[in-house]
């Protein structure tokens, strides 16, 4: 599917960055804050990108999974969550 550039941040992304952002967005433990740090796009930009890049059924499934998921936001995580999403996200950058 062709990538529609809907915002200034999204228009600057390479196809490798788009692929990495989609992979991180699907991962339960990688926060939107990590995606912003690694790729440079906000949560709303991730949603726009997922809407344009995924088939409609896949996008709806992803949105249903992400709705209310506390692991996607650092501030909502409980202190008992002792994993680092930086470690999870670090290997994605090497694939670009």
Query: Of the ranges 8-12, 65-69, 86-90, which one carries the lowest mean pLDDT score?
Result: 86-90
Q: Give the residue with greater pLDDT, 37 vs 93.
A: 37
Residue 4 DSSP one-character state? P
Residue 1 pLDDT: 39
Extents of the domains making up the chain: 13-93
- Is residue 3's pLDDT more than 50? no
What's residue 82's pLDDT?
59
Q: Which two tokens stand for residue 95?
A: 């694939």
pLDDT the model gives residue 6: 46
> What is the torsion angle, in degrees rounded to the nearest 10, for the CA atoms of residue 18, residue 54, residue 8 and residue 39?
-30
In this model, does residue 8 exceed pLDDT 80? no
How far apart (Å, rounded) are the C-alpha atoms in residues 30 and 28? 6
User: To 10 degrees, what angle do helices 15-26 and 85-93 make?
Assistant: 150
Q: What are the tens digits of pLDDT across the range 13-62?
A: 999 999 999 999 998 888 888 899 889 999 999 999 999 999 999 999 99
Per the CB < 8 A criterion, the answer to whether 21 and 41 are in contact is yes
């Amino acid at each position: 599917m062709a990538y529609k550039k809907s915002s200034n941040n999204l228009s600057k992304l390479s196809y490798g960055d788009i692929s990495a952002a989609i992979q991180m967005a699907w991962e339960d433990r990688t926060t939107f804050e990590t995606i912003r740090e690694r790729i440079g796009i906000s949560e709303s930009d991730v949603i726009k990108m997922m809407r344009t890049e995924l088939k409609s059924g896949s996008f709806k499934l992803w949105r249903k999974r992400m709705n209310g998921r506390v692991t996607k936001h650092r501030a909502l995580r409980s202190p008992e969550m002792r994993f680092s999403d930086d470690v999870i996200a670090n290997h994605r950058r090497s694939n670009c």
